[in-house]
Homo-oligomer: A and B are copies of this chain.
Amino acid sequence: MDIKDIAKLAGVSTKTVQRVLNDSQHVKKETREHIQHIMSEHNYYPNVSARRLAKKKTQTLGLFIVQDPKKDNIYADDFFYSSVISQMITSAGDRGYKMLVTTTSVEDASPILKLYREKSIDAGMIISWSDIQETVDKILDYGYPVGVFDQNNLPERMEKVPVPELLNKESAFEATRHLISLGHQLIGIIAGEATNQAALERLEGYTSAMARAGLEAGPYYHGTFVEASGEEAVRSWISEETLPTAIFCSNDEIAVGALKALKQHDISVPDQVSLMGFDNIKITEYTTPTLSTMHVPRVEMADHLVEQMISQAEGSESVKKKYFTASLIERGSTAGPRRKKDSSD
């Protein structure tokens, strides 16, 4: 049952049938209705492959989830990106686009390029924990549209690559300001990797908030965005006896690690130490105490990226930059300094 059959049955040309399919003008109302009737009666659906071939458009976006060699699973147990991914799929669907999802490794960009070249997708988006500048460059060299959802910024050729941007500095400022407003004076920070732009910006935000409040910067720990860093930071501060009364953790995983280490040393959160996270991943609601954090509007960011990619797929050249800000979520891990005195110090 193809378009010709329908045309024959309706006593019109295929062109006319095609006109009603594409909901276009220039078809008499009666003709349209007649054809529509026949189509639904015979349960006709146009063949997508044929249409794609003729139109040279796929109405499909590619989503490339880059496997981090250091993690064994992909986004499976990642609390941040899973909601991003699900939103992207929904956003694309809402706009009439299909989403082809693939998992790939960082080293080999060829499976990604293949999808573009064999015309399986009109545009693609990369979600990654690692540096993918090289892959992005290759895609751009071929002239295909690509966007990135990543918290590590891509410094080069950004003007062509949509990347929803979080105002890390402003958001970290706000997080720190919250701790300050609770009355803390000695506030430390556990920062993420120095190669990561977001980590640096969050550090800046902290620094400027402290400066603005006339406070001296507290102890600083240079770690990475993982639990272990939080644990290490706390342990080293305890052994050096420089543990502050409040800690701004550059992301929630670090905060979870810090919380673990504090518990092990029987230091109460938030009574003795307040903990502030960043990202608002799901587990922050399950720890004891629950973690105060900065909510990153990742759903909105994902939606915006999809929108950008579709408009590029449809020919637009411009990239509309949009900036997002994280919002404060107060939970159980932050309070004023030294509410109780259970132990020494």
Contact = CB atoms under 8 A, between A and B. Distances in A.
B102 A101 contact: no
A45 B114 contact: yes
A141 to B, nearest CB: 11
Contact of A45 (B65, B90, B99, B117): B117
Interface in A94-120: 98-103, 111, 114, 117-120
A117 B39 CA distance: 13
A98 B100 contact: yes
A93 B112 CA distance: 12
Interface in A107-147: 111, 114, 117-120
Contacts of A111: 93
A83 B93 contact: no
Contacts of A90: 74, 103
A263 B283 CA distance: 18
A225 to B, nearest CB: 17
A195 interface: no
Copies in the complex: 2
Given A75-B82, A114-B45, A98 B87 contact: no
Contacts of A74: 86, 89-90
Contacts of A263: 288
A82 B76 contact: yes
A77 interface: yes
Nearest to A43: B117
Interface string A55-92: 00010100101000000011111010011011101100
Given A76-B83, A76-B85, 17 more contacts: A45-B114, A47-B53, A48-B119, A49-B119, A53-B53, A60-B100, A65-B89, A73-B83, A74-B86, A74-B90, A86-B103, A89-B103, A90-B103, A93-B102, A93-B103, A101-B101, A287-B288
